[in-house]
Amino acid sequence: MTRGFAIKKGRFQREMKKRGIPDSAALARQIGMNKTTAWRVLNQESKAGPDFVDNVLEAWGMEFHDLFTSAKPDSRRTKVAA
């Protein structure tokens, strides 16, 4: 089961540009998160956790549905040796 929330990448990037945030490090500083976490979420290496979501929504004054969606489960299947 996948945990976390997927970002709406296009909308998220437009909001960053609108707010003058050039990269994940600047985003991390603005929302008070670790820059590695911000990089992983922006590059879809990991899903956004509740702290990331809460910090972004508070900093930007937006609602969940504007920037995030519930993450879909991974479609990867574990191969079972026969």
What pLDDT digit, counting tens, does each position of 49-61 carry? 999 999 999 999 9
pLDDT at 67 over 50: yes
Give the integer Cα–Cα distance in Å for 10 and 5.
Answer: 15
Residue 80 counted as domain residue: no
Task: Check which CATH number belongs to the domain holding 42 and give it.
Answer: 1.10.260
**Domain that includes residue 24, residue range:** 5-68
pLDDT at 40 over 80: yes
| Domains of the chain: total | 1
Residue 12 counted as domain residue: yes
Residue 46 counted as domain residue: yes
Give the integer Cα–Cα distance in Å for 67 and 76.
Answer: 25
Give the integer Cα–Cα distance in Å for 3 and 22.
Answer: 27
Classified as helix, coil or strand, 33 is: coil
Residue 78 counted as domain residue: no
